[in-house]
Copies of this chain bind each other. A is one copy, B any other.
Amino acid sequence: MEWLEASTENCPVQRTLDVVGEKWTLLILRDAVNGVHRFDDFRRHIGLSESVLSSRLRKLVSADILKTVPYQEPGSRSRNEYHLTRKGWDLWPVFMALSQWGEAYAIGPEGPPLDVRHTGCEAPVRVVVECSAEHSALTPADVTARLGAGARHRP
């Protein structure tokens, strides 16, 4: 069997996109990675309607990617902040990879609005695909993809 004959139903890229692949969802998570937690802050910063934001936040909480944390401003009722869970933080390399491509190909010469550096040493960070044995950075030409244990025939 080859990739073309294999079902994509359990492809991990596709399954991930089923959960977070919608553009507003990704932008909400991008803001959560950058420290945004409150409903009105997401809404204003991303430029989203309340109903779209509510539905996306609900989906992310039910997928255990965001968790609610109550807070209360003086004189107001208790409300929820939205914080990334461990599962949510594990999407961090996705955002760093999207950002790296965008910095190379999709923004102007003035540079990106956020500058992410290793705390302390101040060197820029980068995303690499590496070999888990030799810990060396790889290119697509360095890897071989074979059908794995989960490969199923396309119906």
A residues sitting closer than 8 Å to B (CB atoms) are 3-4, 6-8, 10-19, 21-23, 26-27, 30-31, 33-36, 41, 44-47, 87, 89-108, 110-119, 121, 123-134, 138-140, 142-152, 154
Contacts and interface: CB of A to CB of B under 8 A. Distances in A.
Contacts of A100: 12, 93
Contact of A12 (B16, B93, B102, B117): B102
B148 A114 contact: yes
Contacts of A13: 26-27, 30, 95, 98-99, 102
A45 B10 contact: no
A113 B15 CA distance: 12
Nearest to A87: B105
A97 B99 contact: no
A108 B15 CA distance: 11
Contacts of A89: 140
Contacts of A4: 36, 41, 44-45
Nearest to A30: B13
A105 to B, nearest CB: 6
Given A114-B3, A126-B132, A119 B143 contact: yes
A110 to B, nearest CB: 4
B134 A121 contact: yes
